[in-house]
Structure 1
Amino acid sequence: MADDITLAHHPAENRYELTVDGVLAGRVEYVEDDGVIDMQHTIVDPAFGGRGLGGRIVEYALTDARERGLRVVPTCSFISRFIDTHPDYQDLVTVGG
């Protein structure tokens, strides 16, 4: 049976969340100001590691930023590397906030 994976944006908490079977498995934490979103941390619970969940939540967060017309500061090294290997998101990147 496949895992039930849910992705959600929680703007009041400045984070995107990924749950697996109702359990919080990962998140992207950010600060947003004046049309710029500084994606600061990507965290995946080690119990859920090795399943590509970090990439899934980062893709979700970057897609949401694009849909909302935001520029992205990839402070998080995981997100920076993700963008480097997925050039279709490089147009979102800006320096500073």
Structure 2
Amino acid sequence: MDVKDNRLKNRFETEIDGYKAFVEYEVKPNVLVLTHTEVDKRLAGKGVGSEMIEAVLLQMELRGLKAIPECPFIAKYIDKHPEWKSILA
């Protein structure tokens, strides 16, 4: 999945078959507060949200950033994937 960090809009974005999905965030020093995940309803049920979160967390890890998951979907994802607990602030 090709996920881009749109720093002007404070969100990670992707587009699949012309439909958008994104993860919004707030910036703090060395931390991103992950506030909201949205997946176009036409992509729902295809695992797009989970795949996107995985890509976002990987990008953050590579950039040395920590996460505060305020979005319930992201918090639940991290709970189910304990390998990502090390990225939590």
Q: Please, what TM-score do these two structures have when normalized by structure 1?
A: 0.85
Partner residue in 2 for 1:46: 41
Q: Percent identity?
A: 31
How many corresponding residue pairs? 89
Asked if structure 1 preserves the Cα contact closer than 8 Å seen for 2:32 and 2:68, the reply is yes
**CA shift for structure 1 position 8:** 1.6
Two-structure CA RMSD over aligned residues (Å) = 1.1
Asked if structure 1 preserves the Cα contact closer than 8 Å seen for 2:23 and 2:38, the reply is yes
- The structure that has the greater radius of gyration is 1
Structure 2 unaligned spans of 5+: none
Cα distance change, pair 9–24 in 1 and its aligned pair in 2 (3 A): farther
Equivalent residue runs for 1:11-90 within 5 Å: 11-21=7-17, 23-90=18-85
Structure 1 segments of 4 or more deviating over 4 A? none
Structure 1 unaligned spans of 5+: none
Q: Deviations over 1:34-93 (max 9, x none)?
A: 111000000011111000000011111111111111110000000000000111110111
